[in-house]
């Protein structure tokens, strides 16, 4: 198992990509702390993991709230004596054309997607550095390259790449790697809810001719957190069926 006994905190873990990462990591032997805005939202994936023989705990909290995040990570370290892996997966969208985008739409996405990546990362550094080992994997997006109607979202996802590279430089000598996964069009609940014709238009733009599965993203996270990526840091891996190549 690639992650045997590693303690992994995954934000936005209640559903979609986050839940797939939680399943994959538990299957690989990790002790998964599945976190979402409300603890009860994460209980479903935790029960699923436990039922299949894995180890998981539910946690709740606002990833952009410094005090709440520090309390969460302090609690994890107190219980497990360490935090090995942080997956910054929590994120939101509030799409609108730039001319029509409200301050609230802009601020909300910046707060969750960018501040909500920075705050957990900062809080995780101290316990990871103490053990001279750690893995932080952030979530960007193919939208980081620019996407009409997503000025707020694209800005945060480009910012996450800058943050990833900066942290990688600062933490390289501490035994902590920091990398980033940039998903393309992934078949989560949001895309599943779209009409067939709309989904077909997404597929037409993808060189591989299919939408991504959440587990495609989970596998990329597993790579970055495993011994296979011991000498990899500051990298952005686009998992998008080739769509970013055309962009």
Query: Are 121 and 89 in contact, with CB atoms under 8 Å apart?
Result: no
Which residue among the candidates 25, 106, 118, 153 is catalytic per the annotation?
Answer: 153
Q: Which residue has the tokens 């969208």?
A: 93
| 3-state SS assignment for residue 186 | strand
Reference 159, options 108, 217, 117; nearest CA is 117
Written as six digits, the tokens of 17 are 């990509």
Angle, in degrees to the nearest 10, between helices 214-225 and 16-27 = 50
Instruction: Give catalytic status of residue 153 as yes or no.
Output: yes
DSSP string, 158-197: HHHHHHHHHHHHHHGGGTEEEEEEEE-SB-SHHHHTS-HH
126 sits in which H/E element? helix 116-131
Give the β-pairing of 134-139 and 176-183. parallel
Catalytic positions: 153
């Amino acid at each position: 198992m690639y992650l045997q006994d590693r303690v992994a905190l995954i934000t936005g873990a209640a559903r979609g990509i986050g839940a797939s990462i939680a399943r994959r990591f538990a299957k690989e032997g990790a002790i998964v702390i599945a976190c979402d805005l409300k603890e009860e939202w994460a209980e479903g994936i935790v029960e699923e993991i436990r039922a299949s023989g894995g180890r998981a705990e539910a946690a709740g909290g606002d990833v952009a709230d410094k005090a709440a995040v520090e309390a969460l990570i302090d609690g994890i370290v107190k219980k497990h004596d360490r935090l090995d892996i942080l997956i910054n997966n929590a994120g939101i969208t509030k799409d609108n054309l730039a001319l029509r985008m409200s301050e609230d739409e802009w601020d909300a996405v910046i707060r969750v997607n960018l501040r909500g990546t920075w705050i957990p990362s900062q809080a995780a550094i101290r316990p990871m550095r103490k053990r001279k080992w750690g893995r932080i994997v952030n979530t960007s997006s193919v939208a980081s390259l620019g996407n009409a109607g997503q000025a707020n979202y694209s800005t945060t996802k480009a910012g996450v790449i800058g943050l990833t590279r900066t942290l990688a430089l600062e933490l390289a000598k501490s035994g902590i790697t920091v990398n980033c996964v940039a998903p393309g069009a992934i078949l989560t609940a949001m895309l599943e809810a779209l009409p067939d014709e709309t989904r077909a238009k997404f597929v037409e733009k993808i060189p591989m001719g299919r939408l991504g599965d959440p587990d495609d993203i989970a596998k990329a996270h597993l790579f970055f957190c495993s011994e296979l990526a011991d000498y990899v840091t500051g990298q952005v891996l686009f998992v998008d069926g080739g769509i970013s190549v055309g962009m």
